[in-house]
Amino acid sequence: MAVMTYREALNLALREEMHRDPRVFVIGEEVGLYQGAYKVTQGLLEEFGPERIVDTPIAESGFTGIGIGAAMVGLRPVVEMMTFNFALLALDQIVNSAAKMNYMSGGQYNIPIVIRGPGGPAAQLAAQHSQSMETYFYHVPGLKVVRPSTPADAKGLLKAAIRDDNPVIFIESETLYALKGEVPDDPDFVIPLGQGIVRREGTDVTVVAYMGMLYRALEAAEELAVEGISVEIVDPRTLRPMDTELILASVRKTHRAVVVEAGAGFAGMGSEIAACITEQGFDELDAPVERVTGESAPMPYARNLEKAKTPSKEKIVAAIRRVCYANGNGS
């Protein structure tokens, strides 16, 4: 095991997969000479050259389309979005081409492409650069959607995504790039897509959370442990396909559930997870499923308003207390 940052783990995954498979290449804005907007591709241009680390103009639709075409003829592109908010400019390419090509060609074309970059709440990047974009993609058949929460997951899941024969949406987080953790040295270390993990064992309530919200949930669990409330935390890691069996197994154990997501709540990821728990685990529940979500508003620039928009430890604690009937007033 080596200790490294989240961005270093992503860089290592790219480097290892490019050494393993000459078909893998990286394309996007500032991935080469500038070493990546968040330095995820640092050093790769010098090591692999401009044919495999390809700088592009500011034209997301164009270079995403190039990546899809390359995947159709047998290459394995990794397309970097400087921020996933810019993927809005490539939605037609992603949704109408990458996601549907295998189906519409009767299986003649696989599209082994990874579209990766940071997304979600950051640090005062305001409304156009702070959106939780997973909800734009998990509804689309043909796409896999991944959100890694730790450095080890960043490496293991990115390697699995690159090796997958389907288009994978791989959304990271600006706020986690400097996070340090243990990462396996094994170049064949991969985490299968669709495999969640229990981050903390507990007996009283299941909290489903990922990315930055995972860390707020862990803080909430520590606080509530002092009160005698035992919180189990499940990180799905892959949102599509999702490890629903792991989530349901945890709910069968605790009989209560809270789902946390940074995005606005309406028709969000939390809605899907809550529906899954209610539809498939209703008889196991001792309380209604609670959702803790971002406020339904554009992300403000002001720091105090940004904090008000984003789910906090205090909101998660309050939701857990409600499902555990631990508010002292019977509600």
Q: Where in the chain are the domains? A: 2-183, 197-323
Read off the pLDDT of residues 59-84 as tens digits, 9 standing for 90 and up.
999 999 999 999 999 999 999 999 99
**pLDDT value at residue 328:** 58
Q: Is-same-fold flag (2-183; 197-323)?
A: yes
Statement: 197-323 belongs to CATH 3.30.2090.10: no
How many whole angstroms separate alpha carbon 232 and alpha carbon 206? 5
**Going by C-beta distance under 8 Å and a sequence separation of 6 or more, which residues neighbour residue 107?**
none
| pTM for this prediction | 0.95
C-alpha dihedral sign at 208, 214, 220, 223: positive
How many whole angstroms separate alpha carbon 102 and alpha carbon 144? 13
Catalytic member of 60, 80, 172, 232: 60
Helix, strand, coil share of the chain (percent; to 5): 40, 20, 40
**pLDDT value at residue 124:** 81
The answer for 155, left when phi > 0, alpha when psi is -120 to 50, beta otherwise, is alpha
Active site residue 255: no
How many whole angstroms separate alpha carbon 163 and alpha carbon 245? 24
Residue 329 pLDDT greater than 60, yes or no: no
H-only helix segments in 170-301: 212-225, 244-254, 269-281
Mean pLDDT of 143-171: 98
Average pLDDT, the chain: 95
**Smallest Cα–Cα separation from 99: which of 160, 141, 132?**
141
Which is more confidently placed, 327 or 160? 160
Catalytic member of 17, 80, 129, 174: 129
Segment (H or E) for 168: strand 168-172
Mean pLDDT of 185-214: 97
CATH of domain 2-183: 3.40.50.970
Q: Which two tokens stand for residue 169?
A: 């949406």
Calculate helix-pair angle for 212-225, 313-323, nearest 10 degrees: 60
Active site residue 227: no
Minimum mean pLDDT among 164-168, 243-247, 299-303: which range?
Answer: 299-303
Residue 330 pLDDT greater than 60, yes or no: no
